[in-house]
Every structure is written in C-alpha cells, then in structure tokens.
Chains A and B, each alone.
Chain A
C-alpha cells in the first residue's frame, strides 16, 4: 500500500526562525513525485514545493526547501525566515504516474503556527 506519514501533528516556531516538518512515505515504485501542500485557515490548498524522485538535487522555492532522502523514503520541508503568513496546515503528498495517474495521496498533516 502507498502511504504517507507525518509524525508531527502540531509544530510552532517564532517569526524569523527556521522550522523543519517531517514526512516519510512508503512505495515500491521507482518513479514518483513528492509534494508539500499548504492549507491556510481559509482552506484553499496551495502547492508549496514539488520534487521528482529521479532528481537527486533537492528542490527549493524561495524560503522553502526540501531534504529528499530516497533510500530512507524521507521528504522533509524546511521553512527559513518564518513569517506569520506561513501559519497553516501542511500536507506531504505523492503521486505515482504509472500506476495511479496524477492522483495525490496525502499524509495526515502538520499544523504549523508561527508566533510573533
């Protein structure tokens, strides 16, 4: 079964500091994509960052970066210089094009609170 596990239900960080959210996944496929999605209190889910499994280089998007450890099936998200607007639920997800098209399998989420 394809699963995504986020072991931290809640995290908090002070504004301007750095925080890392953890994610592990399980799949026997070799070709897949990993994602972090953000869901602010307004509920509109937004893509934060995307990583292709065949790429060794970790993806970065401004203050957001990932640490992708393929052998360990780990995909953590680092948020640098945290801002109040980063307060949201963060979901780790993956997609396996060959077997399940473009559907997303999500983890349970981590609620991140950025404190002033």
Chain B
C-alpha cells in the first residue's frame, strides 16, 4: 500500500514570496489533514478536510494561508505572502476515520529567509 506522498521535500524562499505544497493521501482515505510543525514543537493542525469539504480550519491563518482539496483526493496548501515565522515542517496526514489513527507523509521543510 502506497503511503502519503508530499512534495516538495524542501523549499527555501524569501519573505513575502509565495509557496505551495502538494499532498496525495492514501487511496480511499476520506479525511486529510495539514499540520504545521515548528522546530522543537509538536505538530499543530492547520486544516482538516472530509472528502472535499473543510471540517476544521479554525487554526489556519486565513489572511495568508489557503488550502483546497479538489475532487476529494489531492490537496494543496499555499502561503502568500510568507513570513519568517512560517519556517516549519508542513505535514500532511490522511485517515479512514478511526479516531486519531492517522498516516503521515514525510513532510515539507520550509525555510523563509
């Protein structure tokens, strides 16, 4: 069974630039999550999708972050414009629905200079 795929693995940008991350969940997983993990901290949920609908985006900084999950499969997370404090690892996870049983991708490490 293929795992959760994410790209790119690493990204370096200047502040005020834009960046986008892509996630392909495990086939058949209806629930998709984006987490932000700042160095030395635990992951923090940014947004949760159920199929192509948003379930929870209460912690997403909507003035600069956006996410979509067209057709209920792949998802993209965008930051525009980026700030220094956005430097972090962005993790994508997917789930069949078992509470808390999530499968994580390798993450994208973003560095904002």
Chain A residues packing against B (C-beta within 8 Å)? 4, 33, 35, 42-47, 50, 91, 93-95, 97, 100-109
Which residue of B is nearest A98, CB measured? B99
Q: List residues of chain B with CB within 8 A of the CB of A47.
A: 101-102
A106 vs chain B, min Cβ distance (A) = 3
User: A94, B100: Cβ atoms under 8 Å?
Assistant: yes
Bound: A45/B105 CA distance, A:
7
- Closest chain-B Cβ to A49's Cβ sits at a distance in Å of 11
Contact A102 B100 (CB under 8 A): yes
Q: Please report the C-alpha to C-alpha distance between residue A33 and residue B98 in the assembled complex, in whole angstroms.
A: 10
- Who on chain A is nearest to B91 by CB? A45
Q: Mark B71-113, 1 if CB is under 8 A from A, else 0.
A: 0000000000000000001010101011111101111000000
A35 to B100, CA, bound (A): 8
A102 touches B95 (CB 8 A): yes
Q: Is the CB of B41 within 8 A of A108?
A: yes
What is the CA–CA distance of A79 and B104 in the complex, to the nearest angstrom?
22
Q: Give the residue name and chain of the B residue nearest to A101 (CB).
A: B55
- Select from chain A the residue with minimum beta-carbon distance to B109: A43
Query: Does B21 reach chain A (CB closer than 8 Å)?
Result: no
Contact B100 A33 (CB under 8 A): yes
